[in-house]
Amino acid sequence: MNHRIIAVILCLALLFQSEVTICAAEVPKETELYAKSAVLMDGDSGRILYEKNGYQAMANASTTKILTCIIALENCELDSRVTVSSYAASQPKVHLGMQEGQIFFMKDMLYGLMLESFNDCAVVIAEHIAGDVTNFADIMNRKAEEIGCTDSYFITPNGLDGKDDKGFHHTTASDLAKIMRYCIKLSPKSKQFIEITQAGTHSFCDAEGKNSYNCSNHNAFLQMMDGALSGKTGFTGTAGYCYVGALERDGRTYIVALLACGWPNNKTYKWSDTKKLMNYGIENFRKEDLSELKPEKERLAPIMVSDGQGDSIGGETWVEPVLENYNGCFSILLAEGEEVTICYELADKLYAPITKGAYIGRITYRLGNEELGECRVTAGSGVKKIDFNWCFARTLEQLWLTK
């Protein structure tokens, strides 16, 4: 009898698990997400796989610190000594509690910034790099523009709410995902960024060894799903709970960005939304390697050159097309029924003179109307234009051959 009961319980458990999996695979409805703004991004290509108000400008709290961290990693040595100013020491909680005049190492400030989200650590970092917070904000905004952010404006290095004559401190879920993608994939310091943000704990002392400190990572997502890679939480009264996180599994990378994902006492909403979006991505998108998608040889046939110097007068002259390096994403995540197509934009005929390596067209890889990347097509050889001297020389050759 006991065995029958156990068997029934196991069957019910399997049925329940299957039902949950099916639900997770469906496209999340906007009403199913707590976040007012959300994005799921393909971390390799940068393609947005899902968005809910993903381009709406909103306060983003301490998720700002991923940008502060990567700027610091790219501009400072980890063993740099940094001195605490009175302004840094006056930052509100959450803070390390440092004192004016204390000296720390940059490495420890970055761990305090990313694990505990200490606001004073952010200001110490900003002042060390740029002299003051205002100058550092200029660096942040230039870096955001370089990354490709289209609607972000940063005022504070720690993400505390700010406002000036140019606007308020904000980003979008789309831009925030782009910044995380840069931090974990594109930055020359991506490995260091991941190492810091994955650490469970970090202990350190000030440079003089007088005071000791301990940090614990508050990114609970690292223990929630296999392949969790990095992330940063955030909260202010204006922004609500925010989160940006990344997951890597089976050669695929997913990034989730959430803004305004509940207010107290809804601290766990961000984890629910993150897992829902990550599971949707994992179960619904396959990876396609564009380097294996080869152009058709017949579409890259030699192109005739008009008025070009060939072997004889009246003979045809041809140029062999040459593909240059592919410029774009090398892989992309695709949903069922989505296919990448190759579009050919090549000249039907060329006109001399043609120099070797001259641009004669391009091949683009497209997903619907979205261009994923391109290969430039250049001339494999040069062709000079017919002139009097060439015609005279060819005429003499013909006369000599007919003797």
Q: Which residues contact 307 (CB under 8 A, 6 or more apart)?
A: 351, 352, 385, 386
CA dihedral angle for residue 279, residue 280, residue 282, residue 286, rounded to 10 degrees: 170
* Mutual angle of helices 190-198 and 65-75, in 10-degree steps: 130
Q: How far apart are CA 337 and CA 228, in angstroms?
A: 28
**Quick one: how far is CA 214 from the chain centroid?**
31
Out of 37, 45, 62, 174, pick the active-site residue. Answer: 62
The residues, any chain, with a CB within 8 Å of residue 291's CB and separated by 6 or more, are 326, 330
Q: Dmax of the chain from CA atoms?
A: 111
CA triplet 389, 390, 395: central angle to 5 degrees? 100
- CA 49 – CA 284 distance, rounded (Å): 10
381 CB-near residues (< 8 Å, 6+ apart): 319, 320, 356
Annotation marks residue 65 as catalytic: yes
Whole-angstrom distance, CA of residue 262 vs CA of residue 264: 7
Looking from the CA of 16 toward its CB, the CA atoms found within 13 Å total: 6
DSSP 196-246: HHH-SEEEEE-TTSS-EEEEE---GGGGTSTTEEEEEEEEETTTEEEEEEE
Catalytic status, residue 117: yes
Name the residue type at position 188. Answer: P
- Say how far apart CA 170 and CA 193 lie, in whole Å: 22
Structure tokens at 166: 């140019």
Helix axis angle for 2-25 and 269-284, nearest 10°, is 80
Residue 10 exposed, middle or buried by CB count within 10 Å (0-12, 13-18, 19+): exposed
Alpha-carbon distances, residue 110 vs 68, 70, 103, 181, 288 (angstroms): 9, 10, 14, 19, 36
62 catalytic, yes or no?
A: yes
- Catalytic hit among 45, 52, 107, 117: 117
Catalytic pick from 37, 45, 52, 65? Answer: 65
List active site positions.
Answer: 62, 65, 117
